[in-house]
Amino acid sequence: MTAWVPDAHQAVLAAAKDMARKGLVEGTAGNISARREDGTVVATPSAVDYEAMVLGDLVVVDADGTVLDAADGRSPTSELHLHLACYRAFEDIGSVIHSHPVWATMFAVSHQPVPACIDEFTMYVGGDVRCSQYAPSGSEAMGDAAVTALKDRGAALLANHGIVTVGPSPAKALHIVALVERSAQIAWGARALGGPVPIPDEVNANFAGVYQIMRTLP
């Protein structure tokens, strides 16, 4: 059964403002979307500041990206290919978020995964946060690369760009963004103390099983 988000417009707008408030994005960068019951997608528009954004600014597209509803002068996020690629690949997700948090993006720029070295991290994300193969921003290739890196995960790093997260709702996908960002900062700091000590494989394997159950919970 395909996942979708009730009150998708409200959920996307609330998460967008929360993302900006938490400092997980700057200016008009980053983007959020949610799938509706009829399979259409509500997405944040291009080049609109999150503080000023209102419900009427959000754009509705179909599964192929054709704009169905938009205010005059509004267009969907330039990263629409990324969002639609995720929805096509994962029927169990209701929301996609792309952002540029500083610490996680440092890992993306260095093409290094954020390690699952904090207890219970895997329960919420699925394991190490992999880095995708590089592809230009806004391209279909970036969407394809992200889907590959997201297999069995709630987050992936976008090489030289930022992060993408998926979840049952915008709020849950945003929680993953914040968790990965905090974990990236901790892992970076742990390197100064000699490097993170890995969690036993069997523990992360058990947490990964829990993640697969939690992945679709509202």
pLDDT per residue over 10-24, tens digit each? 999 999 999 999 999
Please name the residue that has the structure tokens 């954004």.
53
DSSP-derived letter for residue 106 is H
**pLDDT per position as a tens digit, 94-141:** 999 999 999 999 999 999 999 999 999 999 999 999 999 999 999 999
Extended strands (E) in 108-185: 155-158, 162-167
Measured CA to CA, the distance from residue 78 to residue 44 in angstroms comes to 10
Token code pair at residue 23:
């400092």
User: What is the pLDDT at residue 72?
Assistant: 86
* The CATH number, out of the four listed (3.40.640.10, 3.40.50.300, 3.30.70.1560, 3.40.225.10), of the domain defined by the range 8-214: 3.40.225.10
- Nearest alpha-carbon partner for 125 in 87, 98, 164, 86: 164
User: What is the pLDDT at residue 81?
Assistant: 97
Measured CA to CA, the distance from residue 13 to residue 130 in angstroms comes to 28
User: What is the pLDDT at residue 66?
Assistant: 96
Residues forming beta bridges with residue 138, ordered by sequence position? none
- Nearest alpha-carbon partner for 98 in 154, 32, 45: 32
Q: How many CB atoms lie within 10 A of CB 190?
A: 15
Q: Residue 216: is its pLDDT beyond 90?
A: no
Mean pLDDT along residues 70-83: 94
Measured CA to CA, the distance from residue 186 to residue 182 in angstroms comes to 6
Mean pLDDT along residues 76-83: 96
Q: Residue 217: is its pLDDT beyond 90?
A: no
User: What is the pLDDT at residue 201?
Assistant: 94
How confident is residue 27, by pLDDT bands cut at 50, 70 and 90? confident
Measured CA to CA, the distance from residue 133 to residue 158 in angstroms comes to 8
**pLDDT per position as a tens digit, 43-65:** 999 989 999 999 999 999 999 99
Q: Residue 69: is its pLDDT beyond 90?
A: yes
**pLDDT per position as a tens digit, 149-195:** 999 999 999 999 999 999 999 999 999 999 999 999 999 999 999 99
